[in-house]
Structure 1
């Protein structure tokens, strides 16, 4: 459904452009004409009579034009999940449908509507994969407990993926990325995983896949690779969502997050620093990359977002230039995540350069996140949010003065506890309100070419 089209008179929002021409925006809510829904038969099923909405938008790639229609490929993430209290010392998530398989879908934009069609479950030679976290002890394990809606501890899965970005492989298939490993994977057009790469294990470490720099194993939990793109020369660039937390000590000191380069033809890797808007956030870890898309062999567009010091959301698209950026690989024995600006300079480390292209909040973007970014042509972009499958959790029968998830712990056996004692408080699954429950897609026509 097309929401509206608007022209904005704020040329100052676009510092890359001298033109006074107005950017144009077309806004759509993605619909599912084939009736795609996620099965849900839990205790709150009456609140979801048709099941859960499918949550596309974790990645976006422009495929082609067909007449006046625009075709994109998109992904869901690991499936419907929502906040839960810690299980012991482990962070927890409630997996509303533990059997969910991440999907590859097509979005067709035309005739004043955007429709998601042609769903393909991600699978390998053993069958459909899951979105459950990796087992403890493996690189990529998030120290995260997966709970059922009844707060029973679920298992883990070495094949689990939390998919977040997609780009073409140039031959009809795709590359995707994931937040767990963090992994990048080569898949076929119908969603079969052909090859998977992750942080290369060292010494006694166990890994599901290797071939990528070991240092990215220090991604914050659930903040692995959030976006990726294929450069014209064939290299894959994958963006770590937030600052690395090396030995649990660097997430608030690092001035950058990592852009990892991988050449499928040679296996060669490199790593570049994308400088976050560090002064905008209360803590450096609050900055998040949403997605990336290549312009040429040295330049890409990147979404940076997160809550600022006043807890206001920021959603900005930057043009990032890697041409003078240092390959951090040779510096990683003393990780530059611990360096301040002066130390980076003294070591000869140059971060990527950046320029603001679009401030989406200033254009009227209301969704919390932008998780998909696509380049239609050198003047036209597309962005999309992830609606988290339209679910949230809330406490019921909360104790007086205990109205937050963090006030409780879960025992993994169906109970919530306060100070080690079982309480009657429960967790209920509830629908997200609109517009948060919707997948919103914008087509942005820029005043001048990138």
Structure 2
């Protein structure tokens, strides 16, 4: 059955009722907005073998920084991020079984609009005509990216705003949340991220989220280095992984070294194999049609010999700072690696997670999409990957355009699931 999905099968989608936006990539055409959008993450159904959940992000949006205010156009400001339940059919198609709208604790649907206080990105929200939205923030709004479907029917979702890690019940109503804001009263159970996570970079928050097989520890990975202590460090290839014990509230932190050299890549998904080993998706932003050497890879990482940053005690060289985390000679980890390199960390005994290549998606599939954001380990030899299609449109230098996968501009990007067989997933 899985062989039918090797070349990719699209998830079903509708066309949003948004018209008359010229396609900057194809003269004389207008953009069609896919909905869809189920490409931010994937999580297997806990009991149904051929079913999976997929997550949308904050909705169809694009950069609008003409006023220098970090502006974003929200084509559908009332869009509600959602979880879809899908099924692999024996005929090689994918069916959507239901949608679960994400809601605040009062049961009201949330939006993808930016937060105003805790986790505020200070983005200004505009409508499609470039007018500032009268209601341009949502304190419960999420730019949802990571998804875990638990055995009890509930969900954990991580996002790029706070970053927040929000617990939803089976109907999508918020139960609790975890973030780095001590005074946020929405943290009902008292879980708290290390406070340095409030220094996440805009649009590069907690992209990946998973849970260990015993359902006791959430594990999240940031997309890129954080602005810790400030944006001067954003060229670093240091990425943080955080583990939260849901029983004890204890937190562990580990370091991941991204590839890319001068070009900083993105870590976009993480999935647990066991208590210590995980798969991580890492990518650049290129399309295969533009760059046959594009970077889309899945790595296996191992925490066994990696340093837990939370266990390092204060000394003449080390200081656990409340706001910026571990300092080495007064430098944040992000600053230290930029100045002294990973060899400098190794010299003082700090070891990142071990990392080995599992599959190169470009080599294996000629993977055509710019993004890979979902991983599903089906069994020992089958791995599913899912792309984010950005609702089938993009923006370049302020011009909106349809998102195509071919130079002839005939194939529009769509959420597509690939199942890769014949590999050792490590499960």
TM bin (shorter chain)? 0.7 to 0.9
Q: Partner of 1:375 in structure 2? A: 377
Select the residue among 25, 29, 40 that pairs with 2:10. Answer: 29
The aligned residue for residue 272 of structure 2 is 294
1:432 aligns with 2:398: no
Q: How does 1:270-285 map to 2 (within 5 A)?
A: 270-277=252-259, 280-283=260-263
Aligned length, in residue pairs: 383
Aligned equivalents of 2:67, 2:119: Cα separation in 1 = 19
Alignment match, 1:414: none
Secondary structure of residue in 2 paired with 1:211: coil
Matched, 1:78 2:58: yes
1:311-364 CA-to-partner distances (Å, cap 9, x unmatched) read 753110000001111122345341212222232123321110000000001121
Shift of 1:440: 1.1
Partner-residue secondary structure (3-state), 1:217: helix
Give unmatched runs, 5+ long, in structure 1.
7-23, 395-403, 406-426
Conserved 8 A contact 1:101-1:131:
yes
Q: What is the rounded CA distance, in whole Å, between the counterparts of 1:448 and 1:289 in structure 2?
A: 21
Q: Scaled by the length of structure 1, what TM-score is found?
A: 0.78
Greater share of strand: 1
Single out whichever of 92-101 and 38-47 deviates more from structure 2: 38-47
Of 42, 45, 64, the residue aligned with 1:60 is 42
SS of residue matched to 2:55: strand
Residue in structure 1 matched with residue 348 of structure 2 by the alignment: 347
Q: Is the contact made by 2:382 and 2:423 (CA closer than 8 Å) also made in structure 1?
A: no
Query: What residue is the counterpart of 1:443 in the other structure?
Result: 419
The equivalent of 2:295 in structure 1 is 314
Residues 281, 307 of structure 1: 8 Å contact kept: no
- The alignment's TM-score, normalised by the length of structure 2, stands at 0.82
TM superposition shift of 1:180 = 0.6
Aligned ranges 1:398-413 → 2 under 5 Å: 404-405=397-398
Equivalence for 1:17: none
Instruction: Note the C-alpha offset of 1:304.
Output: 0.8
Q: Gapped runs of 5+ residues in structure 2?
A: 24-28, 313-319, 406-410
* Partner-residue secondary structure (3-state), 1:56: coil
**Alpha-carbon offset, residue 65 of structure 1:** 7.3
Q: Is the 8 A contact 1:80 1:97 kept in 2?
A: yes
Q: Which residue pairs with 1:120 in the alignment?
A: 100
Q: Secondary structure in 2 aligned to 1:246?
A: coil
What residue number does 1:336 align with? Answer: 333
Say what the alpha-carbon RMSD is for the aligned residues. Answer: 2.8
The structure-2 alpha-carbon separation of the partners of 1:43 and 1:256, relative to structure 1 and needing over 3 Å to count, comes to closer
1:393-432 per-residue CA deviation (whole Å, 9 max, x = no partner) reads 47xxxxxxxxx33xxxxxxxxxxxxxxxxxxxxx6x5433
Does the CA contact (< 8 Å) of 2:253 and 2:308 recur in 1? yes
Partners of 2:380 and 2:167 lie apart in 1 by 26
SS in 1 for 2:252: strand
Deviation at 1:250, TM superposition (A): 5.1
- Separation (CA, whole Å) in 1 of partners of 2:137 and 2:219: 28
Given candidates 66, 70, 86, the residue that maps to 1:107 is 86
SS of the equivalent of 1:74 reads strand
**Residue 87 (structure 1) aligned to one of 67, 77, 95:** 67
1:383, CA displacement in angstroms? 0.5
Measure the CA separation in 2 of the matches of 1:345 and 1:48. 50
For residues 208 and 290 of structure 1, what CA distance do their matches in structure 2 show? 26
Q: How far apart, CA to CA, are the structure 1 residues paired with 2:137 and 2:299? A: 37
Structure-1 residue corresponding to 2:317: none
Stretches of 4+ moved more than 4 A in 1?
A: 41-46, 205-210
CA contact (8 A) 1:253 1:337 kept: no
Q: 1:260 aligns with which of 216, 238, 242?
A: 242
Distance in 2 of aligned mates of 1:336 and 1:200: 21
